[in-house]
Amino acid sequence: MIKKLRVDHRLLHGQVAFSWTSALNADCILIACDAVVSDELRKTTMKMAKPNGVKLVIKSISDSVKALNSGVTDKYKLFIVVESIADAATLIQNVDAIQALNLGGTKATDATRNISKAVNITSEEEQILKELVADGVDVTIQMVPEDTPVPVEKAL
């Protein structure tokens, strides 16, 4: 069962690994990120950051779609973390079981504008978010479980 899909450019770190995993009662974290699959240093770092007793799986976006649709992940209380809004949209568009998206953190760059404390988006990402909302996806901004989720429409 998919508990949550979250965008966080830092992927697996203390806040995600402990706060969210605990709040969701998740027993498996799926890092869906093409760049990490071939980066041994990042994989090792994430393995060290995962909470004890929680399974960590790192897959490409396409392999994540295949796994999520095949049923092999159904036995887990799954917390999915992606690096970008585009990756989240790909999962949502290809996995019927995902109907909600949590925005936790995206990098600030010269091409982005800030829409909340830690969420910075490009105009392309803004369009993606608007399309997701129009398609009925529940998109919220929420840094930590204790924060009140803010509908992305209010921030845009």
Structure confidence at residue 152 (pLDDT): 98
Catalytic choice (10, 13, 43, 77): 13
pTM given for the model: 0.96
**Cα 18 to Cα 8: distance, rounded to the nearest angstrom:** 14
Q: Is 38 left (phi over 0), alpha (psi -120 to 50) or beta?
A: alpha
For the chain, percent of residues with pLDDT exceeding 90: 94
pLDDT > 70: percent of the chain: 99
3-state SS track over 84-136: CHHHHHHHHHHCCCCCEEEEEECCCCCCCEECCCCCEECHHHHHHHHHHHHCC
pLDDT in tens, 107-135: 999 999 999 999 999 999 999 999 999 99
Half-sphere exposure of 153 (CA within 13 A, CB side): 8
CA dihedral 87→31→1→14, nearest 10 degrees, is: -120
Q: How far apart are CA 123 and CA 112, in angstroms?
A: 7
40 vs 4: CA distance, rounded Å: 26
| Per-residue pLDDT band at 14 (split at 50, 70, 90) | confident
Tally of domains within the chain: 1
pLDDT of residue 147 exceeding 90: yes
Q: Tell me: the pLDDT tens digits for 20-53?
A: 999 999 999 999 999 999 999 999 999 998 999 9
CATH of the domain at 100: 3.40.35.10
At 70-109, the pLDDT tens digits run 999 999 999 999 999 999 999 999 999 999 999 999 999 9
Q: Is the model's pLDDT at 16 over the cut of 80?
A: no
Q: Residue 101 is part of which domain span?
A: 2-155
Confidence of residue 17 (pLDDT cuts 50, 70, 90): confident
Q: What is the largest CA-CA distance in the chain?
A: 42
Is residue 13 among the annotated active site residues? Answer: yes
- What's the pLDDT at 13? 85
